[in-house]
Structure 1
Amino acid sequence: MSNCKLQTEWDDIDNEYQQLQETHKIYRQKLEELTSLQATCSGAISKQRKSLKDLRRSLSKSAQTCDEKELTLLTHIKTQIKEREHVFFDMEAYLPKKNGLYLSLVLGNVNVTLLSNQAKFAYKDEYEKFKLYMTIILMFGAITCLFFLNYRVTDEIFNFLLVWYYCTLTIRESILINNGSRIKGWWVSHHYVSTFLSGARGPMYQMFRSQFLAFSIYQSFVQFLQYYYQSGCLYRLRALGERNQLDLTVEGFQSWMWRGLTFLLPFLFFGHFWQLYNSVILFRLARHEGCKEWQVFMLALTFLVLFLGNFLTTLKVVRQKVQKKVEKGQKSD
């Protein structure tokens, strides 16, 4: 290759390098502008929230002395304040914010806000796939331990996998909540309780092993059913504009899952009462003369908490939906 041709190639590369430097300089400037805009928006939202809080306090005082016409006006203002707070929530989903206590302990002060809709949806879809794949893996893992490999090593691997799975879910869900997902209530706490439940071991484990593995198989089966049923419900509701794009499938029953209720609820309630049965058996084992570990009693208590949380939450949702259905029927009459 001639020197002239080499010089030409170098000049082309050098020109591209110069262009890259200019592009990167513009990128840095835009990034600084973006950071400044983020800080301005966050400050304005905080100021608005403080003003609305003061206004709400003033409205509460005024409501005690106003007439009926003024009371209607105050009620209208309160409704608008509530709507404004929902708008702020959606705005903050695109702004960097301080992590909650749990994320701060796990990740520190790393910014986990995803700034584009595309990035948010991609992360949500990856979360859903992770849950589905891990549900299948855990189901086959429990089947293998129960029917084929009765060894301490395989049981330890399975239990470690359960702990890792629920720990990972809590982190991913916290990130999704930071990015505008409205998952909340008992179904968030459920994974924290399950993490503790999955990690306990001891000499009494062998007496409870078969029952625990059978329960794990059934739980994975129900979660598999829930995933396909809930994802279908969410797809339909999002298409109708009735659900947020970042809404997730959850472990239990939600109000938007009312259609197909007769199919899903028996499986859920059976699983809830199996948790109660596990609790009863563990309480009995805790009183066994050979039991020296305090963990057995704590496991029994944890299964009882899971049963109460799952059962009462599901019952509450069903009751609310039945009441709404009855009220709607009365109005139509």
Structure 2
Amino acid sequence: STGKMPQGFTDVLEEWKCLEDEYQQLQDTHRMYLQKLDEISKLQNNCSSSISRQQRRLKELSHRVKKCSKSLSEEDAKKMDEIKEKVKTRPNAFFEMEAFLPKKNGLYLSLVLGNVNVTLFSKQSKFAYKDEYEKFKLCSTVVLLLFSFICYFFVSYRFLDAILNFQLVWYYCTLTIRESILITNGSRIKGWWVFHHYISAFLSGVMLTWPDGNLYKIFRNQFLAYSLYQSFVQCLQCYYQSGCLYRLRALGERHNLDLTVEGFQSWMWKGLTFLLPFLFFGHFWQLFNSLSLFKMAQLPDCKEWQVLMCGLCFLILFMGNFFTTVAVVRQKLKSRNQKPKSL
């Protein structure tokens, strides 16, 4: 006689049966998931090729509009103007659509990451990545601030300076990669502020290779004081800009993927103009660094190529930062002066 099955064995059988049923369900769900992925990929390709086709045809249409605009009756000219207005809004609409479609990586991302797809497909994941970027920026800046402080006031070892410069190289390189990914995902960070990070990474790399000697010692304290000041201003900016952006987003005035940047942008005008003196002081400090280095390069005992190269980098940073900030301020003052007239 087989007798009664032990209790433990019955439990195991029941548990196994339960697991089997769940596994069957899991397989079905996974099969459906793969099928949907396939459908999504087809839809993505479909959207991308439609956008390209639309862009091409809109370009051709714009040429034709220019040609036939000359000899039209008043009513037809009105219709033509309506078409022109609608054509103008299209690039923005395409930009919004493309933020959720896979794109080919630009040259820089291809070199660093290869051809891996970096588009995040949900708004939540885009915002999460953006917030992570802002946190990374703030934490790194605080670390750099503390390290510059220690090097400036307490210890004078070339080895520790090298660690600080290595941190700077790593920080700026990481920023450029993260920013490129954010731009692929629809962030509207513009020209100079991206390029600024490449120059800064290069400058920190050159500082890192500068051999310890008489000239290095002359420039060291000036550079550390500058680093300390820059980190302090960046902490200020991160703190105030993120608050300002948060408020503007809540009011629906800003795009959700706008980033805090090192410089000054038009949206900062309300409430952040107090940062301008700090920023301009930093810009002129870059010019001062540049001129000091060019003077050092003329000394008879100057053998290091790093002196001239750092001088050049500081000059480029000064010019880019200064003229970009001035352009933003001018544009803002101009638009403020025009507002009362249009009322």
TM range (shorter): over 0.9
**Are 2:192 and 1:186 aligned?**
yes
Gap runs ≥5 in structure 1: none
Identity of aligned residues (%): 62
CA distance in 2, matches of 1:2, 1:171: 56
- The answer for the alignment partner of 1:209 in structure 2 is 220
User: For this pair of structures, how many residues does the alignment match?
Assistant: 332
Pick which of 2-11 and 195-204 moved more: 2-11
Q: Shift of the alpha carbon at 1:79? A: 2.6
Cα offset for 1:157? 0.9
Structure 2 counterpart SS, 1:291: coil
By how many angstroms is 1:265 displaced? 0.7
| Letter aligned with residue 319 of structure 1 | R
The equivalent of 2:312 in structure 1 is 301
1:290 is the counterpart of 2:301: yes
Give the counterpart of 2:58 among 52, 58, 83: 52
Give the Cα–Cα distance (whole angstroms) in 1 for the partners of residues 198 and 263 of structure 2. 15
Tell me, yes or no, if the aligned pair for 2:147 and 2:164 is still in contact at 8 Å.
Answer: yes
Please, which of 109, 112, 130 is the counterpart of residue 124 of structure 1? 130
Alignment of 1:249-288 (within 5 A): 249-288=260-299
Which one has the largest radius of gyration? 2
Paired AA for residue 95 in structure 1: L
* Corresponding position of 1:242: 253
TM-score (norm 2): 0.92
Question: In the aligned structure 2, how far is the partner of 1:141 from the partner of 1:266?
Answer: 25
Residue 315 of structure 1 deviates from its aligned partner by: 0.5
The residue matched to 1:180 in structure 2 has which SS? coil
Are residue 155 (structure 1) and residue 161 (structure 2) matched?
yes
In structure 1, C-alpha distance between the alignment counterparts of 2:84 and 2:160, rounded to whole Å: 58
The one-character-per-residue Cα deviations of 1:209-239 (angstroms, maximum 9, x if unpaired) are: 1111100110011111111221122112111
1:299-332 deviations in Å (ceiling 9; x for gaps): 1111111111111011011111111111123344
1:78-122: CA deviation from partner (whole Å, max 9, x where unpaired):
332121110000001001010011101111110000000000000
Is 2:90 aligned against 1:84?
yes
Quick one: which of 5, 8, 24 aligns to 1:2? 8
- Structure-to-structure mapping, 1:192-203, within 5 angstroms: 192-200=198-206, 201-203=209-211
Query: Aligned partners of 1:322, 1:66: CA distance in 2, in Å?
Result: 39
Tell me, what secondary structure is at the counterpart of 2:270? coil
Q: 1:222 to 1:71 in 2, by over 3 A?
A: farther
Contact 2:241–2:272 (Cα < 8 Å) also in 1: no
SS at match of 1:260: helix
Aligned partners of 2:299, 2:258: CA distance in 1, in Å?
45
Deviation (angstroms), 1:48: 0.5
Cα distance, 1:2–1:29 mapped onto 2, change above 3 Å: same
Given candidates 133, 137, 159, the residue that maps to 2:143 is: 137
On the 8 A contact 2:240/2:272 being kept in 1, the answer is no
Give the structure 1 partner of residue 4 of structure 2: none
Matched, 1:166 2:172: yes
Query: Per-residue deviation at 1:185?
Result: 1.8
With normalisation by structure 1, the TM-score equals 0.95
> What displacement does 1:287 show?
1.3
Shift of 1:76: 3.5
Query: SS of the counterpart of 2:274?
Result: helix
- Return the offset for 1:66: 5.1
Q: Which residue of 2 aligns with 1:146?
A: 152
Deviation string for 1:14-63 (max 9, x for gaps)? Answer: 22222211111111111111111111111111110111111112223334
Aligned equivalent of 1:227: 238
